[in-house]
Structure 1
Amino acid sequence: MKKTLDVTLLQLDNLRPYRRNLEKILAALEEETSDLILAPEVCLTDYDYEHLEEAVAFGEEAEALLLEAVGEKILAFTRLVKRDAGYVNEAIVLHSHRVVHRQAKHRLFPLGEEERYLIPGALEEIRPFEIGGVRYGLLICFELRFKELWRRLEGCDVILVPAQWGLPRKRHLEILARALGVMNQCYVLVANSAREDMARSSLVASPDGGLILEDMAERIRGDLDLRNVRLLRRYLKVY
């Protein structure tokens, strides 16, 4: 297992046309030296329900380009995907020019229109996955609120949270992410949307309660000392 992990969180607005969003991510892949880059929820197209087919088609094109560009980095983001039963918001993790994890959003946000246009992913898709000896988990935005989902990711070293979390509940995002890090004794990374009505609050929460929090930057960088995860779990067993 790696001792340290350099990460970059992207705090991006949703721009038009879609390609401008893709260019932001491609630029980060080219310019950042981080091991891992996390982008916000539906960062490529936003929840463009009026043009779902167009959004899905662009997401497919973008994924192919990102697969080519990702190299040895890890890139995590979500996009709108059409499955046999309907449309989903799917998290995708890329590494070494391949998809290493897919996970559709299980808990749809009732205050938006997600339940009208999207179907929920299966609970079983929320599960740990491993890259380079590091154990990862992923929750998509609203899923951060559900403690039963925290339990599914016990034992993860790093939990990724791509989000489009609204401004009125800004404090909730910061408190929940920090609590998850302490409870599961892991690092929690949140990349939130920079849209005007969003909370921003992209952050790195440490297993010991430490916090890197940034509201204004487009790229937030952090260094994770994974030895802290092992040390806490050795001396303070909580599950």
Structure 2
Amino acid sequence: MISKQLYALQAKTKQNFEDNLNHIRELIINCDLDSIILLPEVCLTNFAYQKMEEASEFAKVATQALLDLSQEKTIVTTMIEKYKDGFYNNLKVFHNKELLHKQSKNKLFPLGNEHLHFKAGDIEEITPFNIDGLKCGAINCFELRFIELWERLKGCDLILVPAQWSKERKDNFETLTKALAITTQSFVIASNGANDSMAKGSGIITPLGYETRDDTKEIINLKANFNEVAKARKFIDIGL
């Protein structure tokens, strides 16, 4: 039996990058060892369109800090990084002081003008990865709306969804993350930003759709028994 503490962090993002990192560090330190911790999308800098170069440089500092914090923990977030052809919104998985997986956001949010500031990542990067024997996958914010990306993660035990989803579409975020869990019969961790314009709605959903959410908390957690994945797939057999 594999069981783990799962955490969705629901934090506000300030203008000062270092302050954000220090606050996230405090939250991570309060999470148990042998846990999987999901941070909101670009929670260390926000989208920072006026300071993209600075945000990209800060990603180097943040990467080292999260690597250090990932001793006996798994930490997942996204950050702005620059390559030769432009800026990318990169999802990174830190596990036992190593970079276990990276994927660049493929579906850029047009209402937020992401397509004007970021390059789209290769869809082939959205692929399962292994955490301590668990088959895991990730979908970054707006990508949640694309069923073809759900298909790429069929068979995963756990799917992670970092986000900065606005409060006007709160019901969309909560409905889609629950539907993702039920459709894939996976555990889902959804971690959304907590700024005034954000929907919150962060939480953990079981393969049968039971939800643990709390908009009043910065740390939302659930001890997950991953035997529930196999039980759900045996009980309602959809070929997974």
In structure 1, how many angstroms separate the alpha carbons of the residues matched to 2:234 and 2:185?
11
Deviation at 1:28, TM superposition (A): 2.3
**Structure 2 residue 27 is matched with structure 1 residue 14:** no
Aligned to 1:176: 176
In structure 2, how many angstroms separate the alpha carbons of the residues matched to 1:110 and 1:72?
38
Task: Give unmatched runs, 5+ long, in structure 1.
Answer: none
In structure 1, how many angstroms separate the alpha carbons of the residues matched to 2:155 and 2:13?
33
**What does the per-residue CA deviation read over 1:190-220, in whole Å, with 9 as the maximum and x for residues that have no partner?**
0100010000000111111101111121111
Bigger drift between 43-52 and 62-71 goes to 62-71
In structure 2, how many angstroms separate the alpha carbons of the residues matched to 1:5 and 1:40?
20
In structure 2, how many angstroms separate the alpha carbons of the residues matched to 1:222 and 1:235?
22
Aligned to 2:151: 151
Deviation at 1:31, TM superposition (A): 2.1
Residue 19 of structure 1 aligns to a residue whose secondary structure is: helix
Aligned to 1:163: 163
Residue 77 of structure 1 aligns to a residue whose secondary structure is: strand
Aligned to 1:4: 3
Deviation at 1:69, TM superposition (A): 2.1
**Structure 2 residue 104 is matched with structure 1 residue 104:** yes
In structure 2, how many angstroms separate the alpha carbons of the residues matched to 1:3 and 1:191?
22
In structure 2, how many angstroms separate the alpha carbons of the residues matched to 1:3 and 1:96?
18
How many corresponding residue pairs? 238
Aligned to 1:230: 230
**What does the per-residue CA deviation read over 1:126-158, in whole Å, with 9 as the maximum and x for residues that have no partner?**
000001100100000011111111000000000
Kindly report the root-mean-square deviation, in angstroms, between the aligned alpha carbons of the 2 structures: 1.0
**Structure 2 residue 137 is matched with structure 1 residue 137:** yes
Give the TM-score, by structure 1 length. Answer: 0.97
**What does the per-residue CA deviation read over 1:101-142, in whole Å, with 9 as the maximum and x for residues that have no partner?**
001100000101101010110000100000110010000001
Give the TM-score, by structure 2 length. Answer: 0.96
Amino acid at match of 1:63: T
Residue 111 of structure 1 aligns to a residue whose secondary structure is: helix
Percent identity over the alignment?
Answer: 37
Deviation at 1:235, TM superposition (A): 3.2
Residue correspondence of structure 1 range 56-95 to structure 2 within 5 A: 56-95=56-95
